[in-house]
Amino acid sequence: MNRLTQSRLRRIERMKAEPRVRYIISDIPYNPFDPNARKPTIEEIEASLREPEMTPEEWKAKYCPDEPR
């Protein structure tokens, strides 16, 4: 086997060994570095994905009401 074939084989074996992860992109603010942060539920994420897109101003008004404008 040549080097290219060996590297492809290693990559395939790595891909098989890695667990499958479902990535979800949502507009709900969440800070993974804050231990007190509440994680959004799957239902909240799916509901937010069905909502129409918001402008940055609408997003701030909905999710950051305490922030001065």
Residues 41-57 have pLDDT tens digits of 888 878 877 877 778 78
Residue 19 domain flag: yes
Residue 51 domain flag: yes
User: In which domain, by residue range, is 37 found?
Assistant: 3-63
Q: How far apart are CA 47 and CA 50, in angstroms?
A: 5
- 68 confidence band (pLDDT: 50, 70, 90): low
Q: How far apart are CA 18 and CA 22, in angstroms?
A: 13
Residue 69 domain flag: no
Q: Cβ distance 63 to 54 under 8 Å?
A: no
Residue 68 domain flag: no
Q: How far apart are CA 23 and CA 38, in angstroms?
A: 18
Share of the chain above pLDDT 90, in %: 0
- What is the value of pTM for the model shown? 0.35
pLDDT at 14: 79
For 32-61, letters b (16+ CB in 10 Å) and e give eeeeeeeebeeeebeeeeeeeeeeeeeeee
Q: How many structural domains is the chain composed of?
A: 1
Residue 48 domain flag: yes
